[in-house]
Amino acid sequence: MIQKHFIEVIVFPFAQKLFIICLLTLYSIKLILLQSCVLILLSGNLICQTNEVEPSSRQNKPIIRFIRIYGEKSEVEPPIVVINDERTTTSVGLSSSKIVIEFDVFATVPPNLFAKFYHCSFDWQEDENIFINDVTSNRTSNVFWESAPLSSKYYNFRGRIVVPNEQIKFKYSGNWKVKLFDYAEPEVPLAESRFFVINSVLNTELRFYSDFYKPERNVTASAYNIEVIISETKPSKIVENLVHTVAIYRNHRWFEPYFVSQYSLPVSLGGSLKFSNSIYGFLNGGKVFRIDGIPAENGYRVLDLTNLSQFPSMNIPLRLPLSDYRRRGSYFEPHDDGSMITRFVPPSYDEYVYIEFTLDPEGWETSKDVFLVGSFNNWHPSREWQLFYDDNERLYKLRQWIRRARHNYLYATGKYDDSGNIVGISFEEFEGNTVTSGHSFLAFVYYRNPSFGGFDEIIGFARGNYFTSGR
């Protein structure tokens, strides 16, 4: 009996415990196997999901909302890089010898962008000379990125490139373009802009004279005759006949050149059928490039979006408090010489505002299309900046995203040619014309350097306006 009781009390409970332990062990192994299967399935699902998302993410290309270039020390300064060599004799009178390339990007993350630089002829045609446009050296990816304010919906990141830098140096003066590319698609440019590289070899002076011209509309016939006088400070190796063209621009308006050239130019480039011009004299005594009858224009209109109470951040278009009207030669607020001024904008509000522009023609009929140009679009008329006429309100209207800043702008008229280009740009109809505008003019002197098969250098530069330069 004792032996039987011992078996019942000791052995059977031990067997039960052993049986339970085995069951628990098997259950644990089953759980582990089940969890492993689940993890494998989940991992496979994640891999499949990643493969499905990746192609669509590649389709989300970065969008360049706006690009501009200005002098490193000031937004008012023109986009000019100053270089020197053994021929350099004079200074150009600029506060900075470098430029800032600034661009706003709409993208989920800072894109992997790089910039390529292209040397151009005096009329902005890209040179095909591989020695000047070296695709391996004329590029940089040295971009400084900033995040947009949290409230910004139009752009996410702002990139800045200061050149020259460690990656890009400019050996040759002349007209230059910069184009932005994404490494994911390096053959398609996302945006481009213009700047100048100057090597000041010749003394250059601007002179202004009052004159009249024949306007198409009934506006004041005020005009400028401008002379650009160039001379040598010391004997140089410059071949006089190769100093062929002077280009004159209003500050920041790099798509509206006035050319005085030894070449025969079409009217679209300021040929003789549009403006009277002449060239006379010699370098050792002063060679003169003269153009007559440039409209004086009116002072710029001013849009100050730095006023947060008047222009709050909203998702609906903000209509300007008053419609713009045709001007008859008068203006009230001093402008900024065509510049965009952002230094008064707090970083937390450095965004874009959706603005509705309205222009009241006051019954004035025009057969041309109407465009808005200003510092917010680099003074470049385009289809995206064309106003439409609202028959109900009898107003010209346009809605656009405008960077919060102090802007200068004008209303232009023009027409599309057979190729879709906008030609015949004029500011007479809605802006009037007066000799008191005070716009700054910049003159660039072009020399056909015979090296490497020939390319256009800028070897002279001057700037001034009617009130400050010699007359």
Three-class DSSP labels, the chain: CHHHHHHHHHHHHHHHHHHHHHHHHHHHHHHHHHHHHHHHHHHHHHHHHHHHHHHHHHHCCCEEEEEEEEECCCCCCCCEEECCCCCCCCCCCCCCCCEEEEEEEECCCCCCEEEEEEEECCCCCECCCCCCCCCCCCEECCCEEEECCCCCCCCCEEEEEEECCCCCCCCCCEEEEEEEEECCECCCCCEEEEEEEECCCCEEEEEEEEEECCCCCCCCCEEEEEEEEEECCCCCCCCHHHEEEEEEEECCCCCCCEEEECCCCCHHHCCCCCCEEEEEEECCCEEEEEEEEEECCCCCEEEECCCCCCCCCCCCCEECCCCEECCCCCCCCCCCCCCCECCCCCHHHCCEEEEEEEEECCCCCCCCEEEEEEHHHCCCCCHHHECEEECCCCEEEEEEEEECCEEEEEEEEEEECCCCCEEEEECHHHHCCCCCCCCCEEEEEEEEECHHHCEEEEEEEEEECCCCCEC
Same domain (yes/no): 410, 455? no
Same domain (yes/no): 422, 441? no
Whichever domain contains 283, its CATH number is 2.60.40
Residue 35 forms part of a structural domain: no
Residue 470 forms part of a structural domain: no
Same domain (yes/no): 69, 194? yes
pLDDT in tens, 125-156: 999 988 899 877 899 999 999 999 998 999 99
Same domain (yes/no): 146, 236? no
In this prediction, residues 32-59 reach a mean pLDDT of 38
The boundaries of the domain holding residue 207 are 203-297+437-464
Same domain (yes/no): 293, 339? no
Report the pLDDT value the prediction gives residue 270, as an integer from 0 to 100. Answer: 58
Domain count, the chain: 3
Same domain (yes/no): 85, 194? yes
Domain end residue (candidates: 161, 180, 198): 198
Report the pLDDT value the prediction gives residue 1, as an integer from 0 to 100. Answer: 46
Same domain (yes/no): 77, 111? yes
Same domain (yes/no): 177, 251? no
In this prediction, residues 244-264 reach a mean pLDDT of 95
Residue with the larger pLDDT of the pair 234 and 239: 239
Report the pLDDT value the prediction gives residue 321, as an integer from 0 to 100. Answer: 87
Residue 371 forms part of a structural domain: yes
Residue 250 forms part of a structural domain: yes
DSSP β-bridge partners for residue 460: 445
Report the pLDDT value the prediction gives residue 282, as an integer from 0 to 100. Answer: 92
Residue 249 forms part of a structural domain: yes
Same domain (yes/no): 160, 215? no
Q: Is the pLDDT of residue 75 over 60?
A: yes
pLDDT in tens, 92-128: 888 888 999 999 999 999 999 999 999 999 999 999 9
Domain end residue (candidates: 198, 225, 243): 198
With bands split at pLDDT 50, 70 and 90, how would you rate the model's confidence at 275? confident
Report the pLDDT value the prediction gives residue 313, as an integer from 0 to 100. Answer: 85
Residue 345 forms part of a structural domain: yes
Residue 404 forms part of a structural domain: yes
DSSP 8-state class, residue 59: H
Domain end residue (candidates: 145, 175, 198): 198
Whichever domain contains 164, its CATH number is 2.60.40.10
Segment of 205-214, 368-377, 422-431 carrying the highest mean pLDDT: 368-377
Same domain (yes/no): 321, 426? yes
Q: Is the pLDDT of residue 331 over 50?
A: yes
Report the pLDDT value the prediction gives residue 67, as an integer from 0 to 100. Answer: 98
Same domain (yes/no): 228, 317? no
Same domain (yes/no): 293, 441? yes
Q: CA neighbours within 13 Å on the CB side: how many for 369?
A: 22
In this prediction, residues 256-275 reach a mean pLDDT of 78
In this prediction, residues 417-440 reach a mean pLDDT of 89
* Mean pLDDT of the residues in the chain: 86
Residue 234 forms part of a structural domain: yes
Maximum Cα–Cα distance across the chain: 141
